[in-house]
């Protein structure tokens, strides 16, 4: 079944939106669920009509790809034995658990996170947000 034809004025608005987005035509089309071939047909028809001014596409050098986010399966396991960490002086052996030097321990719900000084702050923020939104075990 064919989609309804989009009026030329609407095509022009979409072409302008694409060209002003800073994305390449291809990436903009992917994000807006428009086939790139359809998009380029619109551009061709609009130019042929001669009543529309079509801006140049964003160059590859102006497009900055979104960083690819790796998906990692994380199993949250409730600790069966809680180790008290209160009252230990800084620099004691409690800062090294299983050979992992950490500078902070966070408790969110029933989960604990050991955090090193060199952790990526974005990763830490995303992990905390995920744990806050996770349903209780």
User: Could you tell me if 57 and 15 are in contact, meaning their C-beta atoms sit under 8 angstroms apart?
Assistant: no
Please state, as a whole number, how many other Cβ atoms lie within 10 Å of the Cβ of residue 62: 10
Q: Over pLDDT 90: what percentage of the chain?
A: 20
State both tokens at 50. 């001669």
Helix, strand or coil for residue 113? Answer: strand
Strand-strand pairing, 104-108 and 100-101: unpaired
33-42, 86-95, 127-136: least confidently modelled range: 86-95
More confident residue, 48 or 91: 48
Residue 36's Cβ-side half-sphere holds a number of Cα atoms within 13 Å equal to: 8
pLDDT of amino acid 60: 56
Rounded alpha-carbon distances, angstroms, from residue 56 to 15, 97, 114: 10, 57, 50
- Mean pLDDT over each residue of the chain, to the nearest integer: 75
Digit-coded pLDDT (tens) for 56-78: 887 654 445 566 666 767 666 66
Ranges of each domain in the chain: 1-64, 67-137
State both tokens at 56. 């140049």
What is 1-64's CATH topology?
Answer: Arc Repressor Mutant, subunit A (1.10.10)
pLDDT of amino acid 102: 66
Q: Grade residue 87 by pLDDT with cuts at 50, 70 and 90.
A: very low
pLDDT of amino acid 137: 61
- What is the 8-class DSSP label of residue 32? T
């Amino acid at each position: 079944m064919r989609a309804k034809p989009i009026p030329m004025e609407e095509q022009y608005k979409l072409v302008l939106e694409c060209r002003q987005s800073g994305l390449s035509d291809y990436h903009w089309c992917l994000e807006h669920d428009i086939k790139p071939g359809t998009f380029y047909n619109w551009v061709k028809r609009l130019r042929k009509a001669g009543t529309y001014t079509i801006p140049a596409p964003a160059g590859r050098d102006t497009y900055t790809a979104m960083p690819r986010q790796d998906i990692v399966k994380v199993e949250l396991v409730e600790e069966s034995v809680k180790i008290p960490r209160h009252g230990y002086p800084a620099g004691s052996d409690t800062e090294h658990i299983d050979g992992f030097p950490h500078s902070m321990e966070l408790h969110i719900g029933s989960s604990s996170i050991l955090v090193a000084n060199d952790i990526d702050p974005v990763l830490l923020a995303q992990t905390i947000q995920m744990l806050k939104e996770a349903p209780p075990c």
